[in-house]
Amino acid sequence: MAPARIVICEDDPVIQKLLQVSLRDTGYVLLMAQDGVDGLALIEREQPDAILTDVAMPRMDGLQLADAVRSAPELADIPIVFLTASVQRIHFDEAGRHGATAYVTKPFRAADLRAALEWVLARTHRRRPAAE
């Protein structure tokens, strides 16, 4: 199996770096975007195995990004993990209405982030075989 390709949409450079450090030993290919607009273009181009997105971002937030992904037939089955500082039940419900596959709260532990990604990747058939 080829390594999983994860598009990460996060506008905060400090959180971006923390995500990269948290996932560096996983073997995942991490593709970074600054916001939902750039993230959607990257998702359309790269057809990743999963998306990890912040909810609150400029230009296009994570919920809008998820709506765009879920409305495109060629992208609709990509699992989406939301990353947010909110722990209110209403926000979990809202993320679910927008197509969340999983939800990780900030501050996050690297083990929890890895577990969420492993869980969503185990449940998708998007993984590509390794090149021969």
**Cis (ω within 30 of 0) for the bond into 13?**
no
DSSP annotation of 104 reads E
Is the pLDDT confidence value at 87 over 80? no
Tell me whether residue 20 is in a domain. no
CATH number of the domain bearing residue 60: 3.40.50.2300
Contact of 82 with 100, CB cutoff 8 Å: yes
Per-residue pLDDT of 14-43, as tens digits, reads 999 999 999 999 999 999 999 999 999 999
Number of domains in the chain: 1
Tell me whether residue 127 is in a domain. no
Whole-angstrom distance, CA of residue 24 vs CA of residue 34: 19
Tell me whether residue 19 is in a domain. no
Tell me whether residue 105 is in a domain. yes
Per-residue pLDDT of 112-123, as tens digits, reads 999 999 999 998
The one-letter amino acid code at 96 reads G
Number of helices (H) and strands (E), helices first, in the chain? 5, 5
Q: At how many degrees (to 10) do helices 110-122 and 13-23 cross?
A: 70
Contact of 10 with 51, CB cutoff 8 Å: no
